[in-house]
């Protein structure tokens, strides 16, 4: 349903929270941020206890660059509404500063000991500033867990990965963003465990800074709302740090479906290995190239505007919108013009062919994240899989994908043993010697 149709429905049923919520979401999905802000503001009035509405409202204001408006509505010092913790959190996410924040949080935690939101904000503050060691974060996350819902997971202070995965699964079930903030903190503990040193993720002056092991990488953003893809960076794949820890500086990693890509730059930065990233979507490829240059990694990271597949040739893809970081592209008939979605003609190559003609070297590690085209990628790398120099594969396959058992069986028959890495969809295979 369109934004205009929902506005007409709202005229017939003014103040209807369901219509307002749908209008806000549809407007935001179509990048009509002014309409989304208007709808979310009304929704906050109609449902004052809906913290997600307030969170979304201030997020849209920041997407519009209206930071002063966001602060006016959700300033933690000048207002006393119960949603102040989210105002603090949002200002931190987008590079704002809160004077005397630690003192303010200390006061609020004492005043409202049963309100874990202030503890959650303190966790985010520490991960944002890089001012906490694992022991401190674990204790804070445990305190948050003690005051959370009855079905909240029990955290293991000795096993950061286990705790991070438990929090992320709870978030998937409840959509309670507090769990995602805490999961990010536990994922940061996983990074600190493998790569001691400064660790943080923050937005500053038009770009994101991700620090791991005392080293920083930077990602340029077209607009502040792009930080959403990075604000919980350590929550996404917490086992990745353990995998990278086993890389040598002489190793080669092939990253299939590199996107823009924080996970191409991270291994090159931490291990010194060589990375070849494959990204077929033009806007993602251009952003990836800019990020490689920004991090001065041209000598270690190579990006190719190619889709790996089971054959050499050409294909046409379409995708939801032409913005950096876009995923979920689909191959369509090149003769079809019915869709209004963005489209591109792309080059397809088998990895075996690229290795055979010397375009890329034989890899030691492969990472695959291609939104349902895993079978085609693996079919085009049969000789690569058979080469004993390939020692590990990290692949994302949705748990309910009907082709998953066959893909796992194939890799097992090629001499690899697999295990769930963190999320059920993330699998890691190691060659058995």
Instruction: With beta carbons less than 8 A apart as the criterion, state whether 281 and 292 touch.
Output: no
Question: Residue 32: is its pLDDT beyond 80?
Answer: yes
What's the confidence (pLDDT) of residue 67?
A: 59
- Residue 432 or residue 62, greater confidence: 432
State the average pLDDT over residues 5-11.
82
State the average pLDDT over residues 119-139.
79
What's the confidence (pLDDT) of residue 80?
A: 40
Which has the minimum average pLDDT: 50-59, 80-89, 117-126, 250-259? 80-89
pLDDT tens string 293-307: 999 999 999 999 999
What's the confidence (pLDDT) of residue 76?
A: 41
What's the confidence (pLDDT) of residue 363?
A: 98
Question: Residue 2: is its pLDDT beyond 90?
Answer: no
Q: In the chain, where are the structural domains located? A: 1-80, 100-222, 239-307+351-431
Question: Residue 364: is its pLDDT beyond 50?
Answer: yes
- Residue 60 or residue 87, greater confidence: 60
Question: Residue 88: is its pLDDT beyond 70?
Answer: no
What's the confidence (pLDDT) of residue 223?
A: 58
Most confidently modeled of 14-18, 77-81, 150-154?
A: 14-18
| CATH T-level assignment (fold) for domain 1-80 | 1.25.40
Instruction: With beta carbons less than 8 A apart as the criterion, state whether 278 and 306 touch.
Output: yes
- Structure-token pair, residue 351: 């990895």
Question: Residue 396: is its pLDDT beyond 80?
Answer: yes
Question: pLDDT confidence of 271, banded at 50, 70, 90?
Answer: very high
pLDDT tens string 372-382: 899 999 999 99
Which has the minimum average pLDDT: 195-209, 212-226, 237-251? 212-226
Continuous segment of H or E residues that includes residue 32: none
What's the confidence (pLDDT) of residue 148?
A: 53
Question: Which of helix, strand or coil describes residue 429?
Answer: strand
What's the confidence (pLDDT) of residue 81?
A: 40
What's the confidence (pLDDT) of residue 338?
A: 60
Most confidently modeled of 40-54, 138-152, 199-213, 260-274?
A: 260-274
pLDDT tens string 236-245: 889 999 999 9
- Residue 52 or residue 72, greater confidence: 52
Measured between its terminal Cα atoms, the distance across the chain in Å is 56
b/e code 368-407 from CB counts within 10 Å (16+ = b): bbbeebbbbbbebbeebbeeeebbbbbbbbeeeeeebeeb
Question: Residue 38: is its pLDDT beyond 50?
Answer: yes
What's the confidence (pLDDT) of residue 376?
A: 95
When the pLDDT of each residue in the chain is averaged and rounded to a whole number, the result is: 81
CATH architecture, domain defined by 239-307+351-431: 3-Layer(aba) Sandwich (3.40)
Which has the minimum average pLDDT: 173-177, 196-200, 281-285, 421-425? 173-177
Degrees, nearest 5: CA angle 192-90-228: 65
State the average pLDDT over residues 239-253.
95
Residue percentage of the chain with pLDDT more than 90: 34
Question: Residue 220: is its pLDDT beyond 90?
Answer: no
Which has the minimum average pLDDT: 222-236, 308-322, 396-410? 222-236
What's the confidence (pLDDT) of residue 393?
A: 97
pTM for this prediction: 0.77
What's the confidence (pLDDT) of residue 101?
A: 64
b/e code 2-27 from CB counts within 10 Å (16+ = b): ebeebeeebeeeeeeeebbbbbbebb
Spatial separation of the C-alpha atoms in residues 263 and 255, rounded to whole Å: 8
Instruction: With beta carbons less than 8 A apart as the criterion, state whether 259 and 368 touch.
Output: no
Cβ-based burial of 358 (10 A; exposed 0-12, middle 13-18, buried ≥19): exposed
Residue percentage of the chain with pLDDT more than 70: 79
Spatial separation of the C-alpha atoms in residues 164 and 160, rounded to whole Å: 6
Question: Residue 341: is its pLDDT beyond 50?
Answer: yes
Question: Residue 49: is its pLDDT beyond 70?
Answer: no
Question: Residue 20: is its pLDDT beyond 80?
Answer: yes
Hey, how many other C-beta atoms are within 10 angstroms of the C-beta on 173? Answer: 10
Total residue length of the chain: 433
The alpha carbons of the chain give a radius of gyration, in whole angstroms, of 23
Hey, how many other C-beta atoms are within 10 angstroms of the C-beta on 110? Answer: 9
């Amino acid at each position: 349903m369109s934004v205009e149709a929902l506005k007409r429905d709202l005229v017939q049923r003014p103040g209807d929270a369901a219509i307002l919520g749908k209008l806000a979401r549809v407007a935001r999905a179509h990048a009509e941020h002014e309409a989304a802000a208007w709808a979310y503001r009304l929704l906050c009035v109609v449902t004052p206890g809906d913290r997600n509405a307030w969170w979304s409202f201030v997020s849209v204001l920041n997407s519009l660059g209206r930071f002063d408006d966001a602060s006016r509505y959700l300033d933690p010092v000048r207002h006393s509404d119960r949603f102040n913790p989210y105002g603090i959190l949002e200002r931190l996410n987008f590079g704002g500063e809160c004077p005397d924040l630690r003192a303010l949080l200390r006061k609020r935690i004492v005043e409202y000991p049963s309100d874990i939101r202030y503890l959650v904000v303190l966790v985010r503050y520490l991960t944002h500033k890089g001012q906490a060691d694992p022991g401190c974060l674990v204790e804070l996350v445990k305190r948050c867990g003690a005051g959370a819902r009855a079905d909240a997971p029990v955290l293991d202070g000795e096993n950061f990965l286990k705790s991070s995965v438990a929090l992320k699964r709870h978030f998937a079930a409840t959509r309670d963003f507090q769990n995602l903030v805490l999961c990010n903190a536990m994922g940061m503990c996983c990074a600190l465990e493998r790569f001691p040193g400064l660790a943080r993720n923050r937005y500053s002056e038009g770009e994101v800074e991700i620090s791991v092991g005392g080293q920083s990488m930077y990602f340029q953003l077209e607009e502040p709302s792009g930080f959403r893809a990075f604000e919980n960076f350590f929550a996404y794949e917490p086992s990745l740090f353990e995998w990278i820890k086993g890389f040598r500086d002489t190793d080669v990693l092939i990253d299939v479906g590199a996107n823009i890509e924080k996970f191409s730059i991270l291994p090159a930065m931490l291990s010194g290995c060589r990375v070849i990233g494959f990204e077929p979507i033009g806007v993602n490829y251009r952003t990836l190239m800019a990020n490689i240059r920004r991090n001065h990694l041209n000598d270690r990271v190579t990006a190719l505007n190619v889709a790996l597949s089971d054959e050499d040739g050409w294909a046409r893809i379409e995708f939801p919108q032409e913005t950096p970081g876009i995923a979920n592209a689909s191959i369509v008939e090149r003769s079809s013009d019915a869709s209004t979605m963005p489209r591109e003609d792309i080059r397809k190559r088998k990895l075996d062919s690229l290795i055979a003609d010397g375009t890329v070297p034989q890899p030691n590690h492969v990472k695959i994240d291609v939104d349902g085209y895993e079978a085609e990628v693996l079919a085009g790398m049969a000789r690569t899989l058979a080469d004993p120099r390939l020692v590990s594969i990290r692949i994302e396959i949705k748990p309910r994908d009907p082709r998953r058992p066959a893909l796992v069986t194939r890799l097992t028959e090629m001499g690899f043993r697999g295990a769930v890495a963190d999320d059920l969809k993330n699998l890691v295979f190691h060659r058995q010697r």
